[in-house]
Copies of this chain bind each other. A is one copy, B any other.
Amino acid sequence: MRDSGDQDSVRHIVRTLRRRIVAWQYPPQFPLVEEALAQEFGLSRSPVRQALTHLAAEGLVERLPRRGFRVQQLKMVDVEDLYGFRLALESQVVRALASRGLDEQTLARLRAPWQDPQALASEPVTRLAELDEGFHLGLAQAHGNALIIRHLEHINERLFAFRELDFDGNDRIASTCAEHGGILEAIVARDVALACELIERNINSGLGNVEDALVRLVGRSYLSSTHPVSKGVSP
């Protein structure tokens, strides 16, 4: 019976810790002590240390020279940077697709889930978030740049805790359908500028929703540090 995995327990630790961190199961700045984690996973410090090194390279934890690893707190400015990064990648994808076209089959596959807003209304929020991720990732896969695809996946993982906030309001479903449909239309019409404009609006509305939802949900206290969550109250 293979207990912890036939190949690598490091991967298991990485995955588990990553899921916990992005789901905010640790408070920000929480110190991840090697020995404690080793004991919890029933392993020694060696694989734990490797996992933490990996997570540090991913940016999920920070490593202080002789003081160990701490969970990296996502500040509001980080969320904004992530969305800006995502916007850069996706607008490039959409621009390229609009300029070189999209085959029927891919188009149909991307369009399918967003044809019927009525049906989507009864889906659970998690499912909506998955479909949304699938749409954006599908565009990137149609584009084909492996690096961009990988980074988009990573962004999705990093924003895991926020993905459901995007679909908070009910009217968000209808507008998402409209936006996705519009983007595909613009691509098919080979209208580069329009497609770019629409994806930008789509992503920015997502960011706006997340920001609003955050302020509403957790208040300004949780994510504040350098840049407070609030958009407006500067001295």
Q: Is A163 an interface residue (CB 8 A)?
A: no
Q: How many copies does the complex hold?
A: 2
The answer to whether B145 touches A81, judged by C-beta atoms less than 8 angstroms apart, is yes
Tell me which residues across on chain B come within 8 A of A146, comparing CB atoms: 77, 81
> Which residue from chain B places its CB closest to the CB of A66 in the assembled complex?
B7
Tell me which residues across on chain B come within 8 A of A54, comparing CB atoms: 53-54, 56-57
Q: Is A232 an interface residue (CB 8 A)?
A: no
A93 to B66, CA, bound (A): 36
Binds B, one of A15-23, A84-92, A167-175: A84-92
Q: Is A137 an interface residue (CB 8 A)?
A: no
Q: How far is the CB of A86 from chain B (nearest CB, A)?
A: 9
> Which residue from chain B places its CB closest to the CB of A51 in the assembled complex?
B53
A82 to B8, CA, bound (A): 29
Q: How far is the CB of A140 from chain B (nearest CB, A)?
A: 10
Residue among A10, A85, A193 with most chain B CB within 10 A = A85
The answer to whether A147 touches B84, judged by C-beta atoms less than 8 angstroms apart, is yes
